[in-house]
């Protein structure tokens, strides 16, 4: 019975856990001030913990603990802000059991405002006049609050950040003074009207056609305001609106203004001009114009409202002429430059290319085309850069039609002649043979036999009660239905393809050189259209691209094969011999000596002798006879002795695999190394004895130009 009673007491106590209490405690603070709130005393027992929270945007919790918190007002507000404290406490009953509970208390926080005490609550100003607003803050707190000023109508009065009010135009405005730590105040401003006693504008103005500019009016006395009306004596020359003058046409006009109280300004003479050209451009910088044709060039002057007289000219009137309106006419093949010039010296040009007319044209003499197929006929003209404007015709459009691009279409078996004619009457003809189509009609019999018929036209298939009937314009075939399993038809037409290809049987190609292999297709009387595929069985020695260009990549032999799309092929055995290097000695007395080597030689000095050696050969030269020497895989052209300069004091140069040396040259002579494209890639300088060892190890393989004051030579870095 006692145990039950204790449990009941525990239940009764715990049911009061959510007790809420209201406290009368409050704080009144200025903006920026801090205040301390203490945790309320519990009804019984002791505080275990407390949680504080602000329920207002302008009140923040700075510090908190189980015993209290510090609050701070961050900005001014009116009314009441609340801080909530949820605290927990505990106690022990008579039987030694510990109990816990929670309570909530709300604290009221008030913000005490800093007052703006105005010494100026209203002011009267004239336009242009100004006055400071007299004010002070009460009480004085730290930090000092921020004060801001705002005008309700800046067209009437403006106010600065320091409270200086300036009248702009007549009317009323309200200046609001805001304080970050208290309520705002206002100051009324009245700007009174000051009527002008006179008005003046500039006596003259230069305007430009199509442009606008403002003209200012000065009112007297200072600060006077009025509404201005603007007038022009000739709106076709110059118009004016709200004091902005716009040039219309060359000439002069008078501008004046009047005030709302009846005053008239002096006259302003406006002279309207066109702008002077600052540049000119043409509608095209190049023209391609056939003989006898004309086109018009148009020019644009900058600025667009500039006025000028332009003149046109051609530097080659035999090729092309131009008239005063920019119309260009082509007269004969060649080039001419058309020039347009402004009266103040600006110009632009257009280069006119007049191509020659074709003297002859060549097209395929004969082609074979399957029924239903299409093919473009290619044209070659003489000269190659001739102007080609072709007219294509077919003498039998039932057999072959041809479009404006020279594409022929086979309509029906037969023969037709297609002719291409140039604008100057030169023509060439191609015989087009349209082959009869071949259709294989296959009848599959039930006894697993089949019959194949090659037909030149598609048959018509009909049925009667017992038979399948195949009919063409030339024949008819009848099959009993019971004996036929199925029938199919396939297009067996074959394009005319080469029967053989002719290539050179052998070819010798120097190392690192290129050559194009030319081939012929047979039969030669037809221009056969096929895809040619090129291959090499040893591309490390000879490579070939798909246009038949060979490149000698190494020493040896390779078999190069070309294959047509029907499998017809031909081959050429290409040999790349061991390369020959020429050691060329340029003599002081003029001319040169050339020594052939099968490999790149090594150059050394042995005593006073220059030794050029390979594994198989050695050449010894006395250095004083030598101007320079080079190593190349080709011989130089003959050196004309009559233009040999006086080089008795010149030094000499020799090249190794990855270096160049200069011996006995001028002291401190600059040496430049250029790539074959003209780019400077390396520089050096000889020493006090005129010697230089120039390493080429960092350069890529290829041909370079060595240039100095005494020696210029082409070398090959291997």
The SS3 of residue 379 is strand
Hunting for tokens 């200072």 — which residue is that? 222
**What pLDDT is recorded for position 637?**
62
Q: How far apart are CA 678 and CA 497, in angstroms?
A: 49
What is the CA 449 to chain-centroid distance, rounded? Answer: 69
For residue 345, the cross-strand partners are: none
Measured from the Cβ of residue 112, the count of other Cβ atoms closer than 10 Å reads 16
Which of 349-358, 416-425, 456-465, 559-568 is predicted with the least confidence, judged by mean pLDDT? 456-465
Measured from the Cβ of residue 689, the count of other Cβ atoms closer than 10 Å reads 11
**pLDDT higher than threshold 50 for residue 321:** yes
Query: Over the range 280-309, which residues count as b (16 or more CB within 10 Å of their CB) and which as e?
Result: bebeeeebebbbeeeeebebebeeeebebe
Among candidates 533, 538, 527, 539, which has minimal Cα distance to 569? 533
Q: Locate 32 and state its tokens.
A: 């920026």
**What pLDDT is recorded for position 130?**
92
**What pLDDT is recorded for position 650?**
44
**What pLDDT is recorded for position 608?**
64
Which of 309-318, 329-338, 695-704 is predicted with the least confidence, judged by mean pLDDT? 695-704
Confidence of residue 18 (pLDDT cuts 50, 70, 90): very low
Q: What is the pLDDT of residues 660-703, one digit of tens each?
A: 877 767 788 888 888 866 678 888 888 877 778 888 888 887 77
Q: How far apart are CA 157 and CA 97, in angstroms?
A: 77
Name the percent of the chain in helix, strand, coil, to the closest 5. 5, 55, 45
Average pLDDT over residues 410-433: 91
**What pLDDT is recorded for position 646?**
31
Q: How far apart are CA 475 and CA 453, in angstroms?
A: 11
355 phi-psi bin (left φ>0, alpha ψ -120 to 50, beta other): beta
Average pLDDT over residues 68-86: 93
**What pLDDT is recorded for position 675?**
80
For residue 575, the cross-strand partners are: 508, 557
Alpha helix (H) residue ranges in 293-452: none
Q: What is the pLDDT of residues 334-350, one digit of tens each?
A: 999 999 999 999 999 99
Report yes or no: 256 and 286 within 8 Å, Cβ to Cβ: no
Classify residue 350 by burial, with Cβ atoms within 10 Å: 0-12, 13-18, 19+.
Answer: buried
Name the more confident of 490 and 300. Answer: 300
Q: How far apart are CA 503 and CA 587, in angstroms?
A: 46
List phi, psi (to 5°) of 556.
145, -155
Classify residue 3 by burial, with Cβ atoms within 10 Å: 0-12, 13-18, 19+.
Answer: exposed
Report yes or no: 443 and 419 within 8 Å, Cβ to Cβ: no
Confidence of residue 647 (pLDDT cuts 50, 70, 90): very low
The DSSP line for 175-198 is EEEEETTEEEEEEEEEE-----SE
**pLDDT higher than threshold 70 for residue 607:** no
Going 439 to 443 to 444 to 448, the CA torsion angle's sign is negative
Q: How far apart are CA 440 and CA 451, in angstroms?
A: 10
**What pLDDT is recorded for position 11?**
34
Average pLDDT over residues 456-470: 81
Report yes or no: 237 and 251 within 8 Å, Cβ to Cβ: yes
Q: Locate 343 and state its tokens.
A: 């009266």
Classify residue 271 by burial, with Cβ atoms within 10 Å: 0-12, 13-18, 19+.
Answer: middle
**Average pLDDT of the chain to the nearest whole number:** 84
Q: Locate 193 and state its tokens.
A: 């009207």
**What pLDDT is recorded for position 228?**
94
Measured from the Cβ of residue 481, the count of other Cβ atoms closer than 10 Å reads 11
Q: What is the pLDDT of residues 265-294, one digit of tens each?
A: 999 999 999 999 999 999 999 999 999 999
Report yes or no: 501 and 569 within 8 Å, Cβ to Cβ: yes
**What pLDDT is recorded for position 715?**
75
Report yes or no: 675 and 704 within 8 Å, Cβ to Cβ: yes
**pLDDT higher than threshold 90 for residue 371:** no
Average pLDDT over residues 118-128: 90
List phi, psi (to 5°) of 267.
-85, 145
List phi, psi (to 5°) of 10.
-60, -40
305 phi-psi bin (left φ>0, alpha ψ -120 to 50, beta other): alpha
Task: Give the side-chain half-sphere CA count within 13 A for 525.
Answer: 3
Q: How far apart are CA 533 and CA 544, in angstroms?
A: 10
**pLDDT higher than threshold 70 for residue 24:** no
Sequence-separated (6 or more) residues with CB below 8 Å from residue 222? 128
Among candidates 561, 704, 592, 715, which has minimal Cα distance to 653? 715
The DSSP line for 655-705 is E-SSEEEEES--TT-EEEEEETTS-EEEEEE--TTS-EEEE-TTSPSEEEE
């Amino acid at each position: 019975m006692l145990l039950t009673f204790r449990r009941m007491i525990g239940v009764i106590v715990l049911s009061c856990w959510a007790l809420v209490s209201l406290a009368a405690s409050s704080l009144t603070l200025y903006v920026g001030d801090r205040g301390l709130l203490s945790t309320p005393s519990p009804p019984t027992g002791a505080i275990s913990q407390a949680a504080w929270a602000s329920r207002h945007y302008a009140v923040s919790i700075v510090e908190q603990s189980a015993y209290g918190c510090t609050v701070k007002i961050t900005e001014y507000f009116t009314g009441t802000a609340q801080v909530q404290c949820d605290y927990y406490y505990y106690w022990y009953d008579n039987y030694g059991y510990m109990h816990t509970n929670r309570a909530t208390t709300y604290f009221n926080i008030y913000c005490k405002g800093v007052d703006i005490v105005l010494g100026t609550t209203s002011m009267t100003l004239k336009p242009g006049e100004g006055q400071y607003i007299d004010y002070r803050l009460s009480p004085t707190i730290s930090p000092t609050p921020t004060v801001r000023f705002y005008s309700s109508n800046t067209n009437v009065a403006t106010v600065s950040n320091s409270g200086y009010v300036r009248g702009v135009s007549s009317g009323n405005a309200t200046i609001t003074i805001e304080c970050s730590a208290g309520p705002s105040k206002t100051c009324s401003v009245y700007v009174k009207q000051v009527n002008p006693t006179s008005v003046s504008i500039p006596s003259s103005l230069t305007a430009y056609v199509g442009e606008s500019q403002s003209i200012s009016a000065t009112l007297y006395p200072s600060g006077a305001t009025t509404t201005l009306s603007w007038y022009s004596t000739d709106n076709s020359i110059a118009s004016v609106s709200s004091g902005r003058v716009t040039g219309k046409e060359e000439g002069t006009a008078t501008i004046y203004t009047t005030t709302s109280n009846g005053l008239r300004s002096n006259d302003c003479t406006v002279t309207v001009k066109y702008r002077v050209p600052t540049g000119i451009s043409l509608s095209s910088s190049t023209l391609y114009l056939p003989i006898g044709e004309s086109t018009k060039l148009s020019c644009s002057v900058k600025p667009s409202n500039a006025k000028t007289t332009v003149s046109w000219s051609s530097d080659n009137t035999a090729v092309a002429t131009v008239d005063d309106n920019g119309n260009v006419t082509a007269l004969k093949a060649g080039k001419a430059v058309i020039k347009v010039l402004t009266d103040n010296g600006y110009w632009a040009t257009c280069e006119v290319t007049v191509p020659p007319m074709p003297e002859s044209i060549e097209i395929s003499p004969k082609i074979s085309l399957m029924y239903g197929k299409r093919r473009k006929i290619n044209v070659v003209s003489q000269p190659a850069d001739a102007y080609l404007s072709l007219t294509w015709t077919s003498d039998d459009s039932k057999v072959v039609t041809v479009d404006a691009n020279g594409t022929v279409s086979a309509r029906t078996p037969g023969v037709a002649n297609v002719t291409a004619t140039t604008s100057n009457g030169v023509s060439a003809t191609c015989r087009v043979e349209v082959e009869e189509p071949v259709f294989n009609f296959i009848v599959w019999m039930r006894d697993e036999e089949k019959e194949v018929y090659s037909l030149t036209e598609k048959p018509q298939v009909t049925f009667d009660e017992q038979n399948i009937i195949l009919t063409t314009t030339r024949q008819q075939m009848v099959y009993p239905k019971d004996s036929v399993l199925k029938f199919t038809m396939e297009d067996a037409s074959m394009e005319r393809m080469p029967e053989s290809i002719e290539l050179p049987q052998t070819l010798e190609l120097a190392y690192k050189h290129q050559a194009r292999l030319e081939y012929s297709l047979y039969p030669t009387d037809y221009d056969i259209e096929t895809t040619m595929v090129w291959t090499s069985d040893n591309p490390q020695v000879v490579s070939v691209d798909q246009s038949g260009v060979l490149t000698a990549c190494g020493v040896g032999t390779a078999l190069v094969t070309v294959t047509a799309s029907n499998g017809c092929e031909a081959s050429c055995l290409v040999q790349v011999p061991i390369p020959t290097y020429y050691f060329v000695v340029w003599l002081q007395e003029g001319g040169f000596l050339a020594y052939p080597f099968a490999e790149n030689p090594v150059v050394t000095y042995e005593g006073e002798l220059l030794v050029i050696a390979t594994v198989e050969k050695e050449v010894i030269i006395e250095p004083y006879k030598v101007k320079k020497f080079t190593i190349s895989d080709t011989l130089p052209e003959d050196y004309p002795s009559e233009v040999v300069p006086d080089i008795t004091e010149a030094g000499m140069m020799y090249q190794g695999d990855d270096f160049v040396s200069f011996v006995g040259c001028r002291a401190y002579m600059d040496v430049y190394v250029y790539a074959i494209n003209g780019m400077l890639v390396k520089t050096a300088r000889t020493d006090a004895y005129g010697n230089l060892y120039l390493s080429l190890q960092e350069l890529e393989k290829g041909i370079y130009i060595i240039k100095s004051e005494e020696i210029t030579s082409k070398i090959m870095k291997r």
